[in-house]
Structures are given as C-alpha cells and as structure tokens.
Amino acid sequence: MAFSSAIREAKVRKRPTKAQLLRIAPVPVTRPCTPPLEDLLPYLQDIWASSQLTNNAVNVRRLQEELQEYLGVSHVNLVANGTLGLLLALRALGISGEVITTPYTFVATTNAIVLAGATPVFADIDPETLNLSPEAVEARVTDQTQAILAVHSYGIPCDVEALQTIADRHGIPIIYDAAHCFGVEVGGRSLLDYGTCSILSFHATKVFNTFEGGAVVSSNPQLNQAIGQLANNGIVDEVNVNSVGLNAKMSELHAAIGLAQLPYVSGQIAQRLAIVEAYLEGLSDVQGLSFVQAKPDVIHNGYMFPIILGADYPVERDALYEILTKNGISARRYFYPIVADLPTYKRSSAIDFEEFVVARRAAEGVLCLPLFPGLDASIQDRIIEIVRNPLC
C-alpha cells in the first residue's frame, strides 16, 4: 500500500476522543511527541528511493547538520541511543580505570562505565543542583582516576567551571551525560560545549526524540573520528579495522523521524516552559516544597518538573505518589533508588555505603510531576490542587 493511502486509512480508523482518553487513561508523567505523519513521508520516500537504510546515508548526514546548527555546536556524532553514546565516549578516550561519577542518575550512566571495562567511583551530589558536588569529586581523586562522568540532571547544569578546574588540575577528561539537556544554554553558550564531550539521548521520553537515538557532541576532531569508527565496529576502510568497536549507528529511519521532529521542538520547549511556570506559580508558597531551579544565566528546556518534599510537607514523598496515583495521575520517583543502592552496584567493592547522604535524601524526597507539551491546563490545575492539599 502507498504511504499516502496508509496515512489516509489510519486517519479514518475510529479512535477515542481526547476526552475519552483522559477518562480511561491515567495522566502520564510524560507523553512522547510525534511529528505529523505527513512530515515524515518525504524522508521515507528518500530512503525507499535510495535503498540506503543505514551506514551514514543522506538522512543521518542531514540530521547531523541540522542539529549542529540548532544546538550551536561544532560537531554532532549521531548514534543508536544515549547509553551507547556514553560507552563510545569512554572507549574512544581509552578509559579503563576509575571514573568518578554520580550515584544520583539513571542506571545507564553507571552501566556504560562498567561496560567500558572501567570502575565507577561514586561521589555525593550538591543539594542545590542535585549534580556532582565538586568538593566531593576532588576528595575522590586518586592516581587511579582516569575521568569524571557527570550528569546534568533534569537539564540543570553542573557547576561546569569548578569541575573543569578539577579536571584540568589532574589532567583528566570530563564526560557529561547530557541526556536531559537538548537545547539548554548557559551564559549564552550551549551547555553541550563544556567538558571533553557531552552525550544526548533522543529516547522517546526526551525533549527531542527519534524514538530511540542519541548523540556524542565534541569539538575535538580526533575524538569525533574515533567515535565514528568505534560506532561502526572499528572499521577504517574496506580492509582495515583499527579498534574493537560495535554497531552503534543511527539508522536512516530514526534520522528521518528526527528530521520531521526538529521543526516542532522550539514550540514544544516553549510549551514545556509555560507548564513549568504554571507549576511554580501554583506551588511556590507551599510549605515544605522546594524546587530544583536553574540559575538566571541558563536557558532551560523544561524537560522535567521535580519537586522536593521536605520534613514540613504534610505527607511523605511516597504517600503523595500514592495519592496522585489514586487520582489517576502518574508521577515519577526519578532517580530512586540511587544507583549505589541497586543490588548490582551494592556488590561493588568501590562503594562505601555510609556515603551519599545528599543523594539518598534527594532520592527519597523528589517527585517528578507530569510535564509534556499538550498537558491540559485543567489537569495541571487539578495536579496543583492535590499537591497543595494532599490530605483533602
């Protein structure tokens, strides 16, 4: 069947109305954005016409250029997902020793370190940014330390200057897990420009998605070349393989989705930021609640809205989570538990269980409220009402 008739058929198929969906489905914590199907069609037609489905063909090259322009960075290496991007960066930098990292993250950050053959060494986080504390990092540096892998949680920048000073003093690279940071700027410059390289995730739940996908952003030509080769099984040319790589290439289909999504992303970020503003307006005066907020020189992307429940909030975090769930609203305890407390990582001898007081406190106090373009204002009002009065 031709694409256009397939799209027509999909449109006439009986689907529930928005009101029906809201009645039957709980409010999700996030809802992935998809471009109009018609926008995808020309890119798919190009793929079908060329028969080039992967291996750095026209859509991947086009998306790479458009993202470089949109993000204001010199080089984007597109990859199959953010986790593989982290792994490739570590491999390309030859990291196999200790890597100082945060326990307050999604487990992919730590998994990538272990899969690269290196050892995660956790350091505690800063209570304001919920990102790696530079003092805690400094205290963890030994002669075995080969890199710092920091995460800009929720798109809130790490203390990039302080971390860079530590890295420079010890002559080690900084890799930023910037999975949450699409479009974030600090001091008029892309946040992705800091450190040795930054990794983006284009997973379905992210601000910009290609369903699955990711990128390694770096201005270092040697590093970019190494990442490109490692992502293609270490292949240099028809007869030469110079490293043990893997297949981490983005396909033409995923790049096509990215090309169709990109024109909409600025509008979606604006919608996200308006929702964040409405949450802050509705919740700022609630006793016992605090917020993870970016400094004034940061242009944020509204990826998530984490609230932190303190001791004087009327109920504990898990109780609020249950109350919201009973009201058909999904919230997310993100990140919980901290990676250092996961059974897989508890077994690691590099971890001292008495540490990470700030990270554990954050993991037990944070709740991310629903936030996605298209979140209905009346539903957001209801969420705000419940969070303001959880016991009513």
* Catalytic residue numbers, as ranges: 206
Closer by beta carbon to ligand PLP, 102 or else 380: 102
8 A C-beta contact, residue 210 and residue 34: no
Burial class (CB in 10 A: 0-12, 13-18, 19+), 293: middle
- CA atoms of 87 and 231, how far apart (whole Å): 10
Backbone angles phi, psi at 111, to 5 degrees: -55, -40
Q: Which letter does DSSP use for residue 340 in this model?
A: G
Structure-block tokens of residue 8: 């027509």
Helices (H), 159-300: 160-170, 221-230, 252-283
Looking from the CA of 4 toward its CB, the CA atoms found within 13 Å total 1
- CA atoms of 258 and 242, how far apart (whole Å): 31
Smallest distance, Å, CB 206 to ligand PLP?
7
- CA atoms of 62 and 255, how far apart (whole Å): 8
Closer by beta carbon to ligand PLP, 83 or else 261: 83
Q: Which residue is nearest to ligand PLP (CB)?
A: 82
Smallest distance, Å, CB 288 to ligand PLP?
27
- The CA–CA distances, whole Å, from 120 to 145, 146, 151 equal 10, 11, 13
Residues that bind ligand PLP (CB under 6 A): 81-83, 105-106, 108-109, 151, 177, 179, 201, 203, 214
- CA atoms of 213 and 195, how far apart (whole Å): 22
Smallest distance, Å, CB 165 to ligand PLP?
24
Smallest distance, Å, CB 10 to ligand PLP?
27
Smallest distance, Å, CB 151 to ligand PLP?
5
Smallest distance, Å, CB 152 to ligand PLP?
8
Q: Which letter does DSSP use for residue 90 in this model?
A: H
8 A C-beta contact, residue 121 and residue 143: no
- CA atoms of 18 and 12, how far apart (whole Å): 16
